[in-house]
């Protein structure tokens, strides 16, 4: 696996370099200064890597798909900037968000411009498959907006089911990984069957990753997770566990506690007490185990798709990527 | 000209129909309900018409470019929804804006989704020139974001020149008409020379149109204009006349009044008095006439480009469109 880590680091460096060259203009300063700030902020470059490894798994080369890899990272950053406005988030990756450091209008325009720049990079290289590639990319935008709309809607709704939740994270998180794989496969000239495999691998990996994020909120070590444990409970976030617990809970006392969480109505209850009460409910109805199983199911499903690939190195790279993504304490 | 009006009305009806069919899904409701509301709000469909007439002028047919015409109108609507948030506008086309009727998050997501839907429509038809078409479209997004960023920056800056202003409106207004013409020309299979002509015609028409909008703020009849006369002066808007007046004004009293307008610092001065004082300054330095001449220059330049087209009907249609656009009292 050492060798894959080296490849990852080499690719990451080249992606970071390319990203640092996206903004060539100085003015308007209120547009390009924040964008430069944003694009130098680092990140694991998961989506570009999914695109590149999928391109390689289809017979293509890193050089063929670097522009598209940059495009997908720009698109991902668009979602971060606009989501941060909507969620009123003060910081991201340890730095102030754009709407906090500048203002909301600046952040709206930066997000919009990131979509423009993303397409600019996607359309830089000449591919015969460009229409299919651009269509997949566009599908990504459409679904990610639907996903975020559902997510914001759910905050106000008390009738959200686990099924609704899975549909939402499919659109908000998994789809972007899916289109990364599909576009990589198309650039690599993969046949339909190969692309279908890569697509399903990426989608299921994305699903596992998002449920893991919920799961870690109550199971991780605070220092390893980097967020306050139980934060989702305090915020009344509609997580996999909360929704599952509501479906399973039969005891009136338990359902009352869960409704309080959903209504963000903690009453006189202290935060720590609420978190420990909810955790007990999760244990009682086996909800934490359900979440763990769901994550394992999606991960296994993803890996099963990989079996049909014939290139061992590509297979290892994709598996490594999914494990890296899932690599938080689990 | 009667016959062109008929063609326009027929095309407009088809565009409106197509727009009413863009949203096929019901949920997420917080995304698709506002988008349906927006897309049924009417409009003159100037940009789609520029695209269609340019396609015809290059040998293409209405049917070939309807999807692209819908795409350009969706893209235009994206700019309206996001600009209305930034300008804190309550109404548009006599109806509540999305961020007022719903909220800001909804409006951000609706704007984002309109970009996605715009590309979806642009990429619906199969064209050999799809890469060029999509590149032109993308250039439009990039420049319109730059234009809007400049516009918002100018509100806070006191050193804006007429040159800055012309650069800004070129990006914010004229570019979108330009790409409409270019995409129409590409779909119609026009050669490079033909497309260059259509591009310049559309760009110059757009410039004339935007300066006219400034000009009407102080010269139009209130009933015909539909806005309060002198509104731009009260708001301290950096219009062609205001910036030109500041460049021309020599009298200290005059420059003081103009600085007050730029600083939105009317002091004890009543609105009507301020408007009449500024209008006097505009007369004194010939600024209103300058604006009129600038509009005429851009209009003439636009029409000169048309001369080289050989199809008389197409030429008439494009001229009719530019006159329709400039058709407010002048």
CATH number for position A113: 1.10.600.10
- Contact criterion met (CB < 8 Å) for B134 and A148: no
Residue B218 is predicted with a pLDDT of: 87
* Whole-number percent of chain B with pLDDT over 90: 87
Which of A82, A140, A142 is the best mutation test for B, with the most CBs of B within 10 A? A142
Residue A328 is predicted with a pLDDT of: 52
**Cis peptide bond N-terminal to A28, omega within 30:** yes
CB count in 10 Å sphere of residue A234? 16
CB count in 10 Å sphere of residue B323? 13
Q: Which uninterrupted H or E stretch holds B91?
A: strand B91-92
Q: Which residue of A has its CA nearest to B148?
A: A109
> Taking a C-beta distance cutoff of 8 angstroms, is the pair B278, B257 a contact?
yes
Residue A329 is predicted with a pLDDT of: 42
- Contact criterion met (CB < 8 Å) for B109 and A152: yes
State the average pLDDT over residues B32-54: 96
Residue B67 is predicted with a pLDDT of: 98
Residue B21 is predicted with a pLDDT of: 96
User: Within B171-311, where are the H helices?
Assistant: 175-187, 192-219, 222-225, 231-235, 240-248, 252-262, 271-284, 287-307
Q: At B13, phi and psi to the nearest 5?
A: -60, -45
Cα dihedral A183, A186, A190, A194, rounded to 10, equals 40
- Contact criterion met (CB < 8 Å) for B153 and A29: yes
Q: How far is CA B221 from the centre of its chain?
A: 21
DSSP label at residue B265: -
State the average pLDDT over residues B80-88: 97
For residue A37, the SS3 value is helix
- Contact criterion met (CB < 8 Å) for B108 and A86: yes
Is the pLDDT at B175 greater than 60? The verdict is yes
State the average pLDDT over residues B248-263: 94
Residue A330 is predicted with a pLDDT of: 39
Q: Indicate if the alpha-carbon torsion angle B41, B44, B47, B52 is positive or negative.
A: positive
Instruction: Please tell me the distance from the alpha carbon of residue A122 to that of residue A130, in angstroms, as a whole number.
Output: 9
- In a domain, residue B314? The reply is yes
Binned at pLDDT 50, 70 and 90, residue B310 comes out as confident
Cβ burial of B310 (10 Å; 0-12, 13-18, 19+) is exposed
Cβ burial of A6 (10 Å; 0-12, 13-18, 19+) is exposed
CA distance B104 to chain A (A): 8
- Contact criterion met (CB < 8 Å) for A108 and B85: yes
Residue B270 is predicted with a pLDDT of: 76
Which of B29, B34, B108 is the best mutation test for A, with the most CBs of A within 10 A? B108
Q: By residue range, what is the domain housing residue B210?
A: 2-325
- In a domain, residue A57? The reply is yes
HSE-up of residue B232 (Cα within 13 Å, Cβ side): 19
Binned at pLDDT 50, 70 and 90, residue B192 comes out as very high
> Does A28 reach chain B within 8 Å, measured CB to CB?
yes
Q: Which residue of A has its CA nearest to B30?
A: A149
Count of H-run helices and E-run strands, chain B: 17, 2
Which residue from A136, A68, A141 is spatially nearest to B116, judged by alpha carbons? A141
- Contact criterion met (CB < 8 Å) for B149 and A109: yes
Binned at pLDDT 50, 70 and 90, residue B328 comes out as low
Instruction: Please tell me the distance from the alpha carbon of residue B158 to that of residue B166, in angstroms, as a whole number.
Output: 16
- In a domain, residue A330? The reply is no
Instruction: List, as ranges, residues 56-115 from B with C-beta within 8 Å of A.
Output: 78, 82, 85-86, 104-106, 108-109, 111-113, 115
- In a domain, residue B330? The reply is no
Residue B329 is predicted with a pLDDT of: 42
Q: Which residues contact A128 (CB under 8 A, 6 or more apart)?
A: none
- Contact criterion met (CB < 8 Å) for B146 and A119: no
CB count in 10 Å sphere of residue B103? 14
Partners of residue A104 in chain B, C-beta under 8 Å: 104
Partners of residue B105 in chain A, C-beta under 8 Å: 85-86, 152
Is the pLDDT at B222 greater than 70? The verdict is no
**Within chain A, which residues score under 50 in pLDDT?**
329-330
Q: What is the pLDDT of residues B46-79, one digit of tens each?
A: 999 999 999 999 999 999 999 999 999 999 999 9
Q: Give the start-end residues of each E strand in chain A.
A: 91-92, 95-96
In the block, residue with structure tokens 């129909």? B17
- In a domain, residue B42? The reply is yes
Q: Which residues contact B214 (CB under 8 A, 6 or more apart)?
A: B232, B239, B240, B241, B291
Which residue from B241, B255, B253, B228 is spatially nearest to B292, judged by alpha carbons? B241
DSSP label at residue B268: T
State the average pLDDT over residues B274-283: 94
Domains held by chain A: number: 1
- The shares of helix, strand and coil residues in chain B, as percent rounded to the nearest 5, are 75, 0, 25
Which residue from A204, A152, A151 is spatially nearest to A177, judged by alpha carbons? A204
Q: How far is CA B54 from the centre of its chain?
A: 17
């Amino acid at each position: 696996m050492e060798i894959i880590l080296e490849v990852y680091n080499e690719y990451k460096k080249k992606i970071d370099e390319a990203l640092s060259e996206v903004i060539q203009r100085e003015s308007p300063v209120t547009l390009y200064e924040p964008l430069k700030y944003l694009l130098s902020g680092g990140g694991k470059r998961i989506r570009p890597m999914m695109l590149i490894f999928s391109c390689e798994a289809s017979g293509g080369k890193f050089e063929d798909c670097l522009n598209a890899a940059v495009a997908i990272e720009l698109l991902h950053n668009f979602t971060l900037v606009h989501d941060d406005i909507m969620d009123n988030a003060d910081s991201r990756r340890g730095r102030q968000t754009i709407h906090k450091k500048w203002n909301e209008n600046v952040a709206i325009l930066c997000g919009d411009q990131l979509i423009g720049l993303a397409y600019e990079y996607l359309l830089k290289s000449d591919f015969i498959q460009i229409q299919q590639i651009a269509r997949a990319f566009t599908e990504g935008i459409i679904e990610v907006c639907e996903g975020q709309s559902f997510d914001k809607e759910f905050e106000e709704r008390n009738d959200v089911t686990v099924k609704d939740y899975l549909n939402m994270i499919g659109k908000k998180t998994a789809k972007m990984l899916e289109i990364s794989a599909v576009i990589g496969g198309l650039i690599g000239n993969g046949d339909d069957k190969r692309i279908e495999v890569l697509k399903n691998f990426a989608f299921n990996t994305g699903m596992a990753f998002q449920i893991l994020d919920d799961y870690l909120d109550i199971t991780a070590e605070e220092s390893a997770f980097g967020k306050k444990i139980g934060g989702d409970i305090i915020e009344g976030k509609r997580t996999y566990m909360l929704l599952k617990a509501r479906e399973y809970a039969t005891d009136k006392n338990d359902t009352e506690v869960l409704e309080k969480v959903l209504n963000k109505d903690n009453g006189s209850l202290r935060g720590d007490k609420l978190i420990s009460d909810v955790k007990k409910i999760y244990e009682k109805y086996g909800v934490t185990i359900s979440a763990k199983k769901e994550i394992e199911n999606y991960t296994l499903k993803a890996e099963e798709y990989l079996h049909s690939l014939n290139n061992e190195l590509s297979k290892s790279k994709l598996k490594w990527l999914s494990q890296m993504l899932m690599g938080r304490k689990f």
